[in-house]
């Protein structure tokens, strides 16, 4: 069973408060999202497997630890998810990037897949699916469906967001109970328009996500 993690590190919480303010400028918003994503990547990657490797320092040969097993791929949900990619790449520069595009059908209000481009070895990678907001959960569920349909392993997928609504967490956990969810904050609720409260300072992100 997957778990829901709130990453309540003081630096993450401080920076999240900065980008919640309605007068937060676009430049600062982007920079701070990048910083939060890097801090989150440190926690999300905590259980990456290690293996022994023999190296030679200037003084001696020794056996130390290096990353082992599956390589990493970062999968942003377009387009807001792109803002979280560079921060993760700062820590894991060898990660490959995939993309999943979703839009909301105005009649059914359900997410519709319009673009998917993934690394060819998707089944062999640890996948970090990233999106700033987990609101109703529809886009997250559809994006993970798209990955599974193309060979990704459920045990290799982690979903990462900045803020999550309880409603979205419930929907995602019900649809994909094996997926770990990581958020910088669990917000109060969705309003009648499906926006997260209190949400983020960038209104466009709040309006774009389901």
- pLDDT at position 65 is 94
Torsion angles phi and psi, residue 22, rounded to 5: -65, -25
- pLDDT at position 104 is 78
The answer on pLDDT for 203 being more than 80 is: no
Over residues 139-150, the mean pLDDT reads 96
- pLDDT at position 204 is 56
> Tens digits of per-residue pLDDT, 161-201?
999 999 999 999 999 999 999 999 999 999 988 889 999 98
* Contact yes or no for 133/206 (Cβ under 8 A): yes
* Bridge partner residues of 125 (DSSP): 71
C-alpha 190, offset from chain centre:
20
- pLDDT at position 210 is 47
Confidence category of residue 208, pLDDT binned at 50, 70, 90: very low
The answer on pLDDT for 76 being more than 60 is: yes
The three-class DSSP label of residue 109 is coil
Confidence category of residue 205, pLDDT binned at 50, 70, 90: low
> Tens digits of per-residue pLDDT, 84-101?
999 999 999 999 999 999
Confidence category of residue 202, pLDDT binned at 50, 70, 90: confident
For the beta carbon of residue 203, count every other beta carbon within 10 angstroms.
11
- pLDDT at position 103 is 83
């Amino acid at each position: 069973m997957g778990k829901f993690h709130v990453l309540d590190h003081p630096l993450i919480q401080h920076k999240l408060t900065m980008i919640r303010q309605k007068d937060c400028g676009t430049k600062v918003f982007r920079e701070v999202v990048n910083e939060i994503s890097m801090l989150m990547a440190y926690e999300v990657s905590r259980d990456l497997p290690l293996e022994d490797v023999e190296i030679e320092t200037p003084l001696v040969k020794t056996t130390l630890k290096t990353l082992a097993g599956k390589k990493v791929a970062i999968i942003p949900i377009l387009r807001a998810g792109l803002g979280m990619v560079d921060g993760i790449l700062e820590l894991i520069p060898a990660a490959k990037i995939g993309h999943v595009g979703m839009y909301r059908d105005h009649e059914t209000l359900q997410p519709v897949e319009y673009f998917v481009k993934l690394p060819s070895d998707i089944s062999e990678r640890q996948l970090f699916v990233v999106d700033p907001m987990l609101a109703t959960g529809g886009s997250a569920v559809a994006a993970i469906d798209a990955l599974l349909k193309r060979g990704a392993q459920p045990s290799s997928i982690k979903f990462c967001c900045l803020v999550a609504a309880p409603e979205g967490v419930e929907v995602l956990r019900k649809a994909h109970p094996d997926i770990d969810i990581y958020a910088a904050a669990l917000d109060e609720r969705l309003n009648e328009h499906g926006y997260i409260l209190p949400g983020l300072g960038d209104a466009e992100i709040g309006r774009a996500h389901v």
